[in-house]
Amino acid sequence: MAEVSIYKRYVPAVLAPSNTTAKEWLFIFNSAKILINTRLENPSIPTGVDFNGIEFSSTFKQYLGELEGRPSYCMEVDDTFTPPEGMLFKDLRSLLGEIEEDLFLLAGRAFQIVNWNRMHKFCGKCGTPTEALQDELAKKCPGCGSVFYPRISPAVIVAIVRGDEILLAHNKNFRKNWYSVIAGFMEPGETFEDCIIREVMEEVGIRVKNIQYFDSQPWPFPDSLMVGFTAEHESGEIIVDGKEIEDAAWYGKDNLPQKPTGTSIAGRLIAHVINRC
C-alpha cells in the first residue's frame, strides 16, 4: 500500500504565480480529448514553448500548481481552435502507459477540473451564473450563495481470491478478451465494505469475506476516486448479471487472460494478489 503521494514531482496550488514562464505545462482540452505534442519521440503534454508566436484563446483556464518546478495550467478550447503542426487531440484514456505517470495523473486532474467548470457555469439551485473563488477550487453563486466544488465519485474495486485463484471478469464495455477485477460506484448510506458485498453479489452472484484495504487512486473517467480492496471467496458459484458483466471465471497465475497493467490500480491489485498467491 502507498504511504506517500502518488505524485512524484507535483505540488498542487490554486493561485497562479505572478511571474510566468514559457516552459509552463499546458493541459488543453476540447471536449473529452487532450492536446498532445507528437513532435517528440514519445507523445507528451505541450508547454508554452510549443506555442511561441502562436496566439489562441481559451474558454477556461485554471492554475494547477507546479510539476517539476514548472507552472501547470488546465485549459479548454472550442471547436474553432486549430492544433499547431505536430499536435493533435487524443482521448485521454488512450494515453495510459504512453506518457510519463505524473503527467498522466495530472492530466486526469486537469480533465476533472475542466469538466467541473463546464457543468457549473450556472447555479444548479437558482440558475444564476457562478463566479470562481480566488483562494480555493470552488465556484460560488452570487445570487443564493451556493458553493460548488469539483465532483468526486467514490467507487470500490476489489480483487477476490479463492485459494490460489483470482476472479476476473469481462465487462461489456471492455475491449474483446480483456478481463479485470470487480468495481462499482458507491450508493448513499453505504460503507466501502457494504458496497463491495453488494456489487460482487449483483455482478457475479457470490459472497465474500475478509475484506482488506489495499490502496486508492484518482480515476478521471469520469470523476472517480477508486478505493481498492482484496477479499476472499466465502460461498456461491459465479452467475454473471448479463448487464454489466458478460463473463467471469477463476484464474490461476499460469492462465491469466489479457488484463490491466500496473499503471492502474486494477493492474496493481491483480499483481499483488497473484504474487501473494
Q: What is the CATH number of the domain that holds 242?
A: 3.90.79.10
Q: Report pTM.
A: 0.87
What one-letter code names the amino acid at 187? E
Split at pLDDT 50, 70, 90, the class of 25 is very high
83 and 179, same domain (yes or no)? no
169 and 199, same domain (yes or no)? yes
104 and 132, same domain (yes or no)? no
pLDDT, tens digit, 9 for 90 and up, residues 155-205 = 999 999 999 999 999 999 898 999 999 999 999 999 999 999 999 999 999
CA distance 182 to 233: 13
163 and 268, same domain (yes or no)? yes
Nearest 5°: phi and psi at 246? -95, -25
Tally DSSP H helices, then E strands, for the chain: 3, 15
Q: Using alpha carbons only, what angle is made at residue 159 by residues 157 and 162, rounded to the nearest 5 degrees?
A: 150
Answer yes or no: is pLDDT of 61 > 70: yes
Q: Residue 33 belongs to what domain range?
A: 10-119
Split at pLDDT 50, 70, 90, the class of 261 is confident
CA distance 138 to 8: 25
pLDDT of residue 102: 87
pLDDT of residue 27: 97
Asked if the structure places residue 142 within a domain, the reply is: yes
Q: Which of 171, 192, 179, 141 is nearest to 242 (CA)?
A: 171
**Residue 34: CB atoms within 10 Å:** 25
**Residue 95: CB atoms within 10 Å:** 18
> For residue 73, what is the enclosing H or E element?
strand 70-76
